[in-house]
């Protein structure tokens, strides 16, 4: 193209010069009168060249171009070094007597506490705890006159702001009997916490620090985001063993399998339907905020573990050592076979009833001690529990022995494994904190909030990686067709991303999370669009091999006549100089 344009300019520039030269020559050298036919030929050649350059080349370029819709490249490249503000709205309510009178008069006001969260990559995260201080209303005062903190919490009127991610902290008088004497604060199962007040001049600052401590325990912490952003944090921050939750996805499939490797001796029954309804469903209904869940169950016979357990003569039992556990899963997984049918990640929970020859079977941890739950889990895969049959059942001549699985301990183990797999481990609190027991759903509301925070940030990070790599790829390979629908998906992802970031900084977690999911869906759709691959396999050299029969015969005469014209011109000028 560049060459063609140059050629065109040269042709246009040369023509007047040529004419001027002719005129001069005609005046100066009547002897060298040129043949009019020759001049006409020259003009024709120049015409051809101009046509080819001005009309032919652009026409060819336009008609053979790959269609590439415009993408917001600059915006995508900015994503990488984005500053994400995560705002946590905290409403702090002071009860009568929890604050010196002097400080009370300053109320209500708002403090913002902003902190940087260190990350390895260019993306920056800032957590903002926005604390709105106010005095308690009369109904709240009444509620807090109850005897215990649990009762008080139940009696509290529903807070005005009880959305996902928000916190309500009540400051109670320092000597209040609501809390046991050795506890400084109480964290409830919902989004409410109680903190003891303080005295003295610095009362507000002391209380502020306490509130921040409580708020961080209940909400965003580095740990929570570390678990979400796994590979983006500096390595030393990563607690390798425990923090590998399932990747954020639009849905999950949960499979409960009962493995009975020895149907000759055991006839195992489990009431999985009832157990799922009673224990798993409530938990899932809360977790449905982060995705769709579907559950199924199966019974597999003759499904063996890949490892032969070791006999322990001292306790006349069999043991599975910790180092052999990784080999247990693979042979079993071949039989599970639900992975093929689902687009979503599958989480497996296996209940293994060991064969009679190998029971009782116990799992040992790294130190050689028995694992009390007799279960283990594999991050991002699922959990396995060994269920030993009561040995007294074997005192019979009738085989198979009927075994009815007691689902309560089993579901307890599976639920706590589920918490680990989803990245909501049982919270660990400082000593002087009192932790309320979880509600009937099995998950505290603020734990859910933490999870949603983490998932929202993880989603945004995924969008950033997807869009940047897509932009890089499209930039690198010019042959890829970018259709309008791909472009519109990219724009939609960008819009949703910006909305999510905006809502995060405004503290609307629920809206932000929804937007972040949309952004992930759109960006993945754009990235995996099959139309991106259509023209990838037409390399440039092959295309030009096809054009050569056209280009070569057309270009050669034009170039040759151009060279001839130039050479003749130069010769004529030299001749003129000689004559002069």
Partner 1 sequence: MAMAAPLVLHLLLALLLGLGGQSRAEPERDSLREELVLTPLPSGDVSATFQFRTRWDSELQREGGTNHHFLRYAVLPREVVCTENLTPWKKLLPCSSKAGLSVLLKAERLFHTSYHSQAVHIRPVCRDAHCVSVSWELRQTLTVVFDAYTTGQGKKDWSLFRMFSRTITEACPLASQSYVYVDISRNGQENESLEVSPPPTSTYQAVILGDRKTYAVYDLLNLATFSGSRSLNLQLKWRQLQDIGSQLVPFLHAQRYVSGYGLQKGELSTVLHNTHPYRAFPVLLLETVPWYLRLYVHTLAITTKGKENKPSYIHYQPAQDRLRPHLLEMLIQLPANSVTKVSIQFERALLKWTEYTPDPNHGFYVSPSVLSALVPNLVGAKPANWEESPLFSTMFPTSDSSSYFVRLYTEPLLVNLPTPDFSMPYNVICLTCTVVAVCYGSFYNLLTRTFHLEEPKRSRLVRWLANIIRRIRGVPPV
Q: Tell whether residue 55 is a contact of partner 1 (CB under 8 A).
A: no
Q: Quick one: 368 or 549, whose CB is closer to partner 1? A: 549
Q: Quick one: 301 or 381, whose CB is closer to partner 1? A: 301
Which of 301, 344, 381, 491 is in the footprint of partner 1 by CB under 8 A? 301
- Only one of the segments 3-11, 314-322, 518-526, 554-562 lies at the binding site for partner 1 (rule: CB under 8 A); that segment is 554-562
Q: Tell whether residue 15 is a contact of partner 1 (CB under 8 A).
A: no
d(CA 268, CA 407): 12
Q: Tell whether residue 539 is a contact of partner 1 (CB under 8 A).
A: no
Q: Quick one: 4 or 423, whose CB is closer to partner 1? A: 4
Closest CA to 457 of 504, 420, 494: 504
Q: What are phi and psi of 98, to 5 degrees?
A: -90, -5
Q: Tell whether residue 381 is a contact of partner 1 (CB under 8 A).
A: no
Q: How far is the CB of 260 from partner 1 (least distance, A)?
A: 9
Which of 535, 546, 567, 579 is in the footprint of partner 1 by CB under 8 A? 546
Q: Tell whether residue 491 is a contact of partner 1 (CB under 8 A).
A: no
Task: List the 124-135 sheet strands across, edge first.
Answer: 109-117, 124-135, 83-94, 167-172, 192-196, 185-187, 433-435
Q: How far is the CB of 481 from partner 1 (least distance, A)?
A: 15
The 8-class DSSP code of residue 430 comes to -
- Only one of the segments 130-138, 279-287, 460-468, 541-549 lies at the binding site for partner 1 (rule: CB under 8 A); that segment is 541-549
Q: Tell whether residue 563 is a contact of partner 1 (CB under 8 A).
A: no
Residues that contact partner 1, how many (by CB under 8 A): 27
Beta strands 185-187; 433-435: pairing state: parallel
Q: Quick one: 253 or 449, whose CB is closer to partner 1? A: 253
Residues 6+ apart with CB under 8 A from 65: none
Residue 30 to residues 19, 22, 33, 575: CA-CA distances in angstroms?
16, 11, 6, 13
346 contacts 255 by C-beta, under 8 angstroms: yes
Q: Quick one: 336 or 515, whose CB is closer to partner 1? A: 336
Q: Is 72 left (phi over 0), alpha (psi -120 to 50) or beta?
A: beta
Q: How far is the CB of 550 from partner 1 (least distance, A)?
A: 4
Q: How far is the CB of 534 from partner 1 (least distance, A)?
A: 10
Q: Tell whether residue 37 is a contact of partner 1 (CB under 8 A).
A: yes
- The string of DSSP codes covering 178-247 is SS-TT--EEE-SSSEEEEE---STTHHHHHHHHHHHHHHHHS--HHHHHHHHGGGS-GGG--TTT--PPP
Q: Tell whether residue 38 is a contact of partner 1 (CB under 8 A).
A: yes
Q: Quick one: 326 or 557, whose CB is closer to partner 1? A: 557
- For residue 360, cis peptide bond before it (omega within 30 degrees of 0): yes
Q: Tell whether residue 549 is a contact of partner 1 (CB under 8 A).
A: yes
Q: How far is the CB of 335 from partner 1 (least distance, A)?
A: 7
- For residue 363, cis peptide bond before it (omega within 30 degrees of 0): no
Q: Quick one: 234 or 337, whose CB is closer to partner 1? A: 337
Residues 6+ apart with CB under 8 A from 446: 167, 187, 190, 191, 218, 219
Q: Quick one: 137 or 337, whose CB is closer to partner 1? A: 337
Question: Residue holding tokens 């983490």?
Answer: 454
Q: Tell whether residue 400 is a contact of partner 1 (CB under 8 A).
A: yes
- Only one of the segments 155-163, 164-172, 298-306, 499-507 lies at the binding site for partner 1 (rule: CB under 8 A); that segment is 298-306
Q: Quick one: 311 or 547, whose CB is closer to partner 1? A: 547
Q: How far is the CB of 546 from partner 1 (least distance, A)?
A: 5
String marking each residue 250-269 x if it binds partner 1 according to CB under 8 A: -------------xx-----
- Only one of the segments 31-39, 72-80, 213-221, 468-476 lies at the binding site for partner 1 (rule: CB under 8 A); that segment is 31-39
Which of 357, 429, 554, 563 is in the footprint of partner 1 by CB under 8 A? 554
Q: How far is the CB of 337 from partner 1 (least distance, A)?
A: 6
Q: Tell whether residue 339 is a contact of partner 1 (CB under 8 A).
A: no
Q: How far is the CB of 68 from partner 1 (least distance, A)?
A: 22
Question: Residue holding tokens 């610095």?
Answer: 202
- Only one of the segments 284-292, 324-332, 507-515, 547-555 lies at the binding site for partner 1 (rule: CB under 8 A); that segment is 547-555
- For residue 505, cis peptide bond before it (omega within 30 degrees of 0): no
Q: Tell whether residue 344 is a contact of partner 1 (CB under 8 A).
A: no
Count Cβ atoms below 10 Å from residue 7 Cβ, excluding itself: 19
Q: What are phi and psi of 78, to 5 degrees?
A: -75, -25
478 contacts 470 by C-beta, under 8 angstroms: no
Q: Tell whether residue 561 is a contact of partner 1 (CB under 8 A).
A: yes
Closest CA to 503 of 466, 452, 469, 467: 452
Beta strands 382-386; 192-196: pairing state: unpaired
Token pair of 90, please? 């905290």
- Only one of the segments 33-41, 281-289, 388-396, 480-488 lies at the binding site for partner 1 (rule: CB under 8 A); that segment is 33-41
Token pair of 284, please? 């899932």
Q: How far is the CB of 558 from partner 1 (least distance, A)?
A: 8
Q: Tell whether residue 550 is a contact of partner 1 (CB under 8 A).
A: yes
Residue 402: alpha-carbon gap to chain centroid: 46
**Which residues make up the interface to partner 1 (CB under 8 A)?**
35, 37-38, 40-42, 44-45, 48, 263-264, 301-303, 335, 337, 400, 546-547, 549-550, 552-554, 557-558, 561
């Amino acid at each position: 193209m560049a060459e063609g344009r140059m050629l065109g300019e040269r042709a246009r520039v040369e023509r007047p010069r040529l004419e001027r030269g002719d005129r001069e020559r005609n005046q100066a050298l009547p002897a060298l009168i040129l043949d009019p036919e020759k001049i006409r030929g020259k003009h024709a050649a120049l015409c051809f060249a101009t046509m080819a350059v001005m009309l032919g080349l652009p026409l060819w370029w336009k008609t053979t171009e790959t269609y590439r819709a415009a993408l917001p490249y600059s915006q995508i490249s900015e994503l990488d070094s984005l500053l994400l503000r995560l705002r946590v709205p905290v409403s702090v309510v002071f009860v009568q007597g929890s604050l010196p009178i002097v400080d009370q008069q300053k109320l209500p006001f708002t403090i913002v506490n902003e902190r940087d969260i260190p990350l390895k990559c260019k993306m920056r995260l800032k957590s903002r705890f926005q604390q709105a201080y106010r005095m308690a209303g009369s109904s709240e005062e009444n509620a807090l006159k109850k005897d215990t903190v649990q009762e008080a919490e139940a009696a509290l009127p529903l807070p005005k702001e009880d959305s996902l991610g928000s916190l309500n902290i009540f400051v109670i008088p320092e000597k209040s009997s609501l809390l046991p004497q050795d506890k400084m604060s109480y964290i409830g199962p919902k989004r409410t916490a109680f903190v003891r007040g303080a005295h003295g001049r610095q009362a507000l600052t002391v209380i502020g620090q306490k509130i921040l401590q409580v708020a961080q325990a209940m909400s965003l912490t580095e740990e929570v985001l570390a678990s979400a952003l796994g590979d983006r944090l500096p390595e030393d921050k990563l607690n390798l063993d425990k923090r590998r939750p399932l990747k954020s996805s639009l849905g999950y499939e949960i499979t409960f399998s009962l493995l009975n490797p020895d149907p000759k001796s055991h006839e195992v029954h489990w009431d999985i339907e009832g157990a799922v309804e009673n224990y798993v469903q409530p938990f899932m209904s809360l977790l449905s905020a982060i995705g769709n869940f579907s559950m199924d169950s199966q019974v597999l016979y003759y499904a063996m573990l890949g490892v032969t357990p070791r006999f322990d003569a001292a306790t006349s039992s069999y043991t599975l050592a910790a180092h052999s556990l990784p080999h247990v899963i693979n042979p079993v997984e071949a039989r599970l076979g639900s992975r093929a049918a689902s687009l979503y990640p599958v989480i497996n929970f296996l209940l293994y009833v060991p064969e009679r020859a190998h029971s009782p079977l116990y799992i040992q941890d790294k130190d050689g001690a028995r694992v009390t739950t007799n279960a283990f889990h594999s991050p991002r895969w699922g959990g396995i529990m060994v269920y030993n049959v009561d040995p007294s059942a074997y005192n019979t001549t009738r085989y198979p022995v009927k075994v009815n699985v007691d689902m309560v301990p089993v579901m307890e183990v599976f639920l706590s494994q589920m918490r680990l797999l989803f990245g909501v481990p049982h919270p660990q609190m400082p000593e002087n904190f009192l932790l309320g027991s979880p509600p009937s759903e099995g998950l505290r509301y603020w734990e859910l909030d933490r999870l949603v925070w983490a998932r929202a940030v993880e989603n945004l990070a995924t969008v950033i990686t997807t869009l940047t790599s897509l932009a890089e790829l499209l930039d690198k390979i010019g042959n890829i067709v970018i259709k309008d629908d791909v472009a519109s998906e990219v724009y939609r992802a960008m819009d949703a991303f910006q909305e999510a970031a905006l809502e995060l900084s405004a503290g609307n977690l629920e809206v932000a999370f929804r937007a972040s999911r949309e952004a992930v869906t759109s960006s993945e759709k754009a990235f995996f669009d099959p139309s991106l691959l259509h023209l990838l396999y037409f390399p440039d050299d092959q295309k030009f091999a096809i054009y050569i029969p056209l280009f070569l015969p057309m270009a050669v005469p034009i170039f040759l006549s151009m060279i001839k014209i130039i050479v003749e011109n130069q010769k004529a000028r030299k001749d003129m100089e000689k004559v002069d």
